[in-house]
Amino acid sequence: MTLVVGIPISLSGQFQAQGRQALAGILAWARDANADTPNSFSVVHYDDASDVSTVREATERLIVDDRVDILVGPYSSVLTAAAAQVAEVHGKLLWNQGGASDDVYRQGYR
């Protein structure tokens, strides 16, 4: 069984440097995990262009179309908050890896 990990990630725009670093880290993790147990994880990602509307669309696509098992949040508090709104609507857990603002945690998402 392969678990699908999805992430909306900034590969262009204001947060592209941080997004590329985050994606490299997730891909390295999946590669290492798959070395121990082949085909355990696959990673699906879409460029959110460092844009709130685009991150919402990418998050929706990952949940609805790709049916990811694990949803990882994007870099930046603003983008994480937008992705978390979409995840909440769909009852999907969002693993926050790049939203550090206290406001992200004050939203009351489940």
Mean residue pLDDT across the chain = 91
Residue 48 placed within a domain:
no
Residue 95 placed within a domain:
no
Query: Rounded CA gap, 1 and 22, in Å?
Result: 25
Residue 9 placed within a domain:
no
Residue 75 placed within a domain:
no
Q: Which pLDDT value is given to residue 109? A: 62
Residue 39 placed within a domain:
yes
Residue 32 placed within a domain:
yes
**Residues contacting 2, CB < 8 A, separation 6+:** 39, 40, 41, 42
Structural domain of residue 30, as residue ranges? 17-43
Domain count, the chain: 1
Residue 88 placed within a domain:
no
Q: Which pLDDT value is given to residue 37? A: 86
pLDDT tens digits for 16-68? 999 999 999 999 999 999 998 888 999 999 999 999 999 999 999 999 999 99
Residues 8-19 have a mean pLDDT of: 97
Residues 73-99 have a mean pLDDT of: 91
Residue 34 placed within a domain:
yes
